[in-house]
Structure 1
Amino acid sequence: MMRRLALTAVVSLAALSAAAPAATAAAGPLPLPLPLSLFQEEDGGTHLTVVITGSGNPEADGRYELECEPAGGTHPVARQACERLAQLEGEDADPFAPVPADAMCTQQYGGPATARITGTLQGRRIDSAFDRSNGCEIGRWNSLRPVLPNVR
């Protein structure tokens, strides 16, 4: 029984090996794989999308693009925002990290403003949400001014 099974497997493999080149020749060459660089950030620079809602200031609410080195995009104060991000690089705290679950935060409400920042910061992927629901969240928001607007 084992010999029959082994013989069947060898014959099947031989038949498939002979058929594959013929099928490939009829269908044409296989496409070449795309280079991995097409799916990666090209330079490790900074390109962030900042979306702000509920700030109470129609001029602050909206979607902004921020690019650094050189500063540009649609962010209203791109140069100052890029300077702040560069300053934060030297600090130990990560302003994009969420508030730890065990953090003790003051129970103050800073308003309904929310923000989301996505993109890359010096080649590092960023996807971070912000609000002003308590003292810790207000502190996170304020640490990113002027990337995020001054709201009251």
Structure 2
Amino acid sequence: MHLRFVRPLLAVLAVVGLAACSGSPTPGSTDTASQAPSSSASSSSAPSSSSPSTSAAPSASGATGAGNAELSITLLETAEASPQTFTLVCTGGTPAAESKHPSAAEACSALKNSPTLLSPAPTRTDQACTMQYGGPATAKVTGSVDGKEVSASFNRTDGCQIALWDAAKSVLGSDGGL
């Protein structure tokens, strides 16, 4: 008779415990997991590196950026391949003549619409990421977007990192080998 109440109670407690581990935001904070993926996972070669933010929404002021960028992108799709290096120069959201990027117009448009696409996000220790491997591709982006310095690293080591890659793939110049 006693077990009839204990099992349902344990089931409810297990669900509540899992919900508490989901990383729900505290009042007053923004829920970046529901807006766009972000990650606290870091690359295996640099455990203290921060991950880029991928908010697809306009900047915090509500306005889109000026669309000016000067970036160097280094892409390594496999360990056996040579790294590819691109330059992306955008003025007002359109590519400049000196851009050497496979999809410069798309990349400049993405940066104009989401100037924080390559900005480092605060490290979150409470975010759960799917344990899937998206391939060996890595990318490093340095330079500036709308006058703000950029230094972002991308990889495809888990679900959060894959989502970050997918959000920035037009700027990276690759879909990660998919």
Q: Shorter-chain TM-score: which interval?
A: 0.5 to 0.7
Report whether the alignment pairs 1:102 with 2:126. Answer: yes
**Gap runs ≥5 in structure 1:** 1-43
Q: Deviations over 1:41-82 (max 9, x none)?
A: xxx9410000000258x69x5000000014031111111100
The answer for the alignment partner of 1:3 in structure 2 is none
**Quick check: 1:84–1:145 contact (8 Å CA) kept in 2?**
no
**Gap runs ≥5 in structure 2:** 1-66
Q: Give the RMSD, CA atoms, in angstroms.
A: 2.5
Q: Kindly report which structure 2 residues correspond to 1:87-126, keeping only aligned pairs within 5 A, or say none.
A: 87-89=113-115, 94-98=117-121, 100-126=124-150
Q: Kindly report which structure 2 residues correspond to 1:26-45, keeping only aligned pairs within 5 A, or say none.
A: 45=68
Report whether the alignment pairs 1:143 with 2:167. Answer: yes
Report whether the alignment pairs 1:78 with 2:104. Answer: yes
Corresponding pairs, count: 105
TM-score w.r.t. length of structure 1:
0.61
Larger Rg over CA atoms: 1
The answer for the alignment partner of 1:47 in structure 2 is 70
**Within 1, Cα distance between the matches of 2:117 and 2:101?**
21
**Quick check: 1:95–1:140 contact (8 Å CA) kept in 2?**
no
Q: Secondary structure at the match of 1:136?
A: helix
TM-score w.r.t. length of structure 2:
0.52
